[in-house]
Structure 1
Amino acid sequence: MSLHYPAAPQDWRRLAARRLPRFLFDYIDGGANDERTLAANVDDLAALRLRQRVLVDVAQVDTRATLAGQPCALPLALAPIGLAGMAARRGEAQAARAAHAAGVPFTLSTVSICPLAEVAAASVPPWFQLYMLRDRGAVRALLDDAWAAGCRTLVFTVDLPLPGMRLRDIRHGMAASGARPALLRAAQVLARPGWVWNVALRGKPLRFGNLTAQVPGARDLNAFKAWVDAQFDPGVTWKDIEWLRGQWKGRLLLKGILDVEDARAAVAVGAEGIVVSNHGGRQLDSVASTAAKLPAIAQAVGAQAEVLVDSGVRGGVDVFKALALGARGVLVGRPWVWALAAQGEAGVRTLLAQWQRELLLAMTLAGVTRTADIGPRHLDTDS
């Protein structure tokens, strides 16, 4: 029996699993190795308890916030997700429209299907996510393209010197080339004829839209993926981030910070903000959850930089908890792609409306009327 009225992230996840080829669903859904950190991100947030208060004037509860200088309807931005444009037809453009309608920022991945110009034309200029590539000329070109498209916030990922060991990608043929993995992927694609019609055929071109100038002549995702894999640079240091700071005139957020010393180093090189992140549990398995690391990092640098957090956020109550732990706002990844795969732009709009309602209810029942006032005192440390 189909699920017609998704009410929670797991509902959207089940719908996405029914619509996407298995290798693509697991690419979005999976984590590194045994996925212990992936689970801990969710479980540690879920384990936190809130203080419920009564007889507080909560007639005027306001979920609005400001993230990276941008007014938002709630303290949330859509995180960058590679290949999100394969979850739905021209998926990043759809998600960007949904985010704009909901009043929150959308972050476009370097390895998106839709190019920057298409996404900016579909709504408003997004935040742009970038990695440090071996080819610094390519980095400069991508920065120039982002600025020309109107992007003013750069989310720079620093925790990917090499891709993590993602076992689901290996099992289902996503991480390998050759005849056998290709046949495995083809079988999974043929099992989803709706996806073939809506995305593979009507959503062309399926390629990394931001990298067409960097990989001239490449006509398929495998060629682009080979170029990207060769561009990961394990020799990147803070000196390279200093160079980047000199290249980018806009606001710089460093994504992938999980240690207080690294947070302080990020502030020292001129980053206006950091994203406390373990890449959604997709890089080094058995590192701590972001909920466990967030309070110390927020205490150390929260007065000097904007502290955001991602990984494990699964609803408006989790947004409240993240703010109570010290974050200014959250980035959300997997849930918006599940909703996109399930119902396209309408699904993402519905998801964000649900989360805003959940946040408003949590604030109301906790006796707080402004997101800026949410803090540690709203956590129940006695239970």
Structure 2
Amino acid sequence: MVQRQIPKPEEIFELLKFRKFDPDGRRRRLASAQTIEDLRRIAKRRTPAAAFDYTDGAAEGEVSLRRALQAFEDVEFHPSILKDVSEVNTSTTVLGDTSALPFGIAPTGFTRLMQTEGETAGAGAAGAAGIPFTLSTLGTTSIEDVKAANPHGRNWFQLYVMRQREISYGLVERAAQAGFDTLFFTVDTPVAGARLRDARNGFSIPPQIALRTVANAAVRPWWWWDFLTTPKLEFASLSETGGTVGELLNSAMDPSINFEDLAEIRAMWPGRLAIKGVQTVEDARRLADLGVDAVLLSNHGGRQLDRAPVPFHLLPEVVREVGDDVEVMVDTGIRNGGDIVACLAMGARFTLIGRAYLYGLMAGGREGVDRTIEILADQVRRTMQLLQVRTVEELNPSHVTQLSRFTRVDAPAPPAVSRRRDL
């Protein structure tokens, strides 16, 4: 029989430890977020549908995005045992310099539309964390202002080669003069992908105030207050704005770009050169032979060609083919530090986060980006400890299995052409 007794009041009060109330609503929101998905839910509550869907959505049926997310869910880890992991080093070397964590912030367009601090928040948070920040050609903060926000950190610039080549060339020169150390030449956007959420929302730059827009924004007055009381939304690479996102992108993109344009940019850029949007082993090999410094396996977050290859699935084959000649990087679908560790184990030198960063930005501005980095850093560190590896360099393919839901079927050979001539 269990001996029972009347509890003493002081023992009850000892158990009732209430958390101190934080009057700062933003801090409370962000402290409650334990995962990137938590930040996504907060972002969705606080952001008008058109802006949130621009971030969250992808092209056409969004198959590429779902497959990329599923690929990371299908990772199986294989931990070692009985190794001292009381101290773990998450730093790595990428493109000639160090990063405190094995991920950086990817380039994102129209960022101040998501939350008015925009790229300034991203660059400042990246600098504070000791990781690189990448500014998009379609960014809403100038090259010089990003440099001011992250004066001592690593800044990278993502380049679209536009129809008016002089605009692109001028951006390359400005990024070099501002001390950006790496240029990401993007090769997967000859035209804009069919982003159906944006079309259905009538998403345009600047936002058009229609009845549907007003109704959706009515419960988010803080977003409109921020938008209307901060500097005008402008784009570093476009002389004028207006129209749908697709129309803006199509005015900036050029379907005629080719390897000659790559050579031209290479000749004028003094720093490291990475190619963003590589999706085949053959293209990775050709770029390595041309002497680029890195290839970024990416399907643009599923926002361009739907049903494009999943970068994580492509990673092992590309690393086997070119890993000794160029640095191989990965983006698309990364929502957890475990995803980052899996990429590193499969041979990636580095990873980039896009949506994860923007969810934090929408959830809480600069503090939200800090929280994104903190969550991912904790997950990277904990995953490494549970795998029982002390450094990024110790990760290798024996730590990961890619479980497969799909079987690739090669295209059938074309039918033989009969040479028989009927009489």
Q: Normalized against structure 1, the TM-score is what? A: 0.92
Question: Helix, strand or coil: the match of 1:49?
Answer: strand
| Equivalent position amino acid for 2:92 in 1 | A
Q: Distance in 1 between matches of 2:388 and 2:247?
A: 52
Q: Point out where structure 2 has 5 or more consecutive residues left out of the alignment.
A: 1-27, 405-423
Question: Helix, strand or coil: the match of 2:372?
Answer: helix
Alignment length, in residue pairs?
A: 375
Q: For residues 61 and 140 of structure 1, do their structure 2 counterparts lie closer, same or farther at Cα, with a shift above 3 Å needed?
A: same
Cα-Cα RMSD: 2.4
Q: Distance in 2 between matches of 1:130 and 1:230?
A: 15
Q: For residues 346 and 333 of structure 1, do their structure 2 counterparts lie closer, same or farther at Cα, with a shift above 3 Å needed?
A: same
Q: Which residue of 2 aligns with 1:25?
A: 52
Q: Equivalent of 2:220, from 178, 192, 196?
A: 192
1:40-79 per-residue CA deviation (whole Å, 9 max, x = no partner) reads 1111111011012221122321111112222111110100
How far the C-alpha of 1:85 sits from its partner, in A, is 1.5
State percent identity of aligned pairs.
Answer: 36
Q: Does 1:356 align with 2:383?
A: no
| Aligned 8 A contact 2:275 2:292 in 1 | yes
Q: Distance in 1 between matches of 2:103 and 2:402?
A: 25
Q: Which residue of 2 aligns with 1:106?
A: 133
Q: For residues 153 and 337 of structure 1, do their structure 2 counterparts lie closer, same or farther at Cα, with a shift above 3 Å needed?
A: same
Q: Distance in 2 between matches of 1:284 and 1:79?
A: 19
Q: Equivalent of 1:84, from 108, 111, 134?
A: 111
| Aligned 8 A contact 2:117 2:365 in 1 | no
Moved over 3 A (4+): 175-179, 181-191, 220-228, 380-383
Map of 1:364-375 to 2, 5 A cutoff? Answer: 364-375=385-396
| Equivalent position amino acid for 1:24 in 2 | A
| Equivalent position amino acid for 1:349 in 2 | D
1:146-191 per-residue CA deviation (whole Å, 9 max, x = no partner) reads 1111112111111000111111011111169998x85544543444
| Aligned 8 A contact 2:192 2:246 in 1 | no
Q: Distance in 2 between matches of 1:382 and 1:334?
A: 24
Q: Distance in 2 between matches of 1:381 and 1:76?
A: 21
| Equivalent position amino acid for 2:374 in 1 | A
| Equivalent position amino acid for 1:34 in 2 | G
Q: Does 1:335 align with 2:363?
A: no
1:73-92 per-residue CA deviation (whole Å, 9 max, x = no partner) reads 11101000101122222311
Q: Does 1:150 align with 2:179?
A: yes
| Aligned 8 A contact 1:174 1:185 in 2 | no
Q: Which residue of 1 aligns with 2:87?
A: 60
| Equivalent position amino acid for 1:151 in 2 | F
Q: Point out where structure 1 has 5 or more consecutive residues left out of the alignment.
A: none
Map of 1:121-140 to 2, 5 A cutoff? Answer: 121-124=148-151, 126-140=155-169
| Equivalent position amino acid for 2:295 in 1 | I
Q: Equivalent of 1:37, from 29, 54, 64?
A: 64
Question: Helix, strand or coil: the match of 2:76?
Answer: coil
Q: Which residue of 1 aligns with 2:334?
A: 313
Q: For residues 313 and 266 of structure 1, do their structure 2 counterparts lie closer, same or farther at Cα, with a shift above 3 Å needed?
A: same
Q: Which has the higher contact order (CA 8 A, sep 6+)?
A: 1
| Aligned 8 A contact 2:205 2:243 in 1 | no
Of structures 1 and 2, the larger Rg is shown by 2
| Aligned 8 A contact 2:59 2:306 in 1 | yes
| Equivalent position amino acid for 1:376 in 2 | P
Q: Which residue of 2 aligns with 1:243?
A: 264
Q: Distance in 1 between matches of 2:196 and 2:79?
A: 41
Q: Which residue of 2 aligns with 1:51?
A: 78
| Equivalent position amino acid for 2:169 in 1 | R
Q: Which deviates further from its counterpart, 147-156 or 329-338?
A: 147-156
Q: For residues 161 and 5 of structure 1, do their structure 2 counterparts lie closer, same or farther at Cα, with a shift above 3 Å needed?
A: same
Question: Helix, strand or coil: the match of 1:31?
Answer: coil
Q: Distance in 1 between matches of 2:383 and 2:247?
A: 45
Q: Distance in 1 between matches of 2:291 and 2:210?
A: 45
Map of 1:168-317 to 2, 5 A cutoff? Answer: 168-174=197-203, 182-198=210-226, 200-208=227-235, 210-211=236-237, 215=239, 218=240, 220-222=241-243, 226=247, 228-317=249-338
Q: Distance in 1 between matches of 2:187 and 2:323?
A: 19
How far the C-alpha of 1:102 sits from its partner, in A, is 1.0
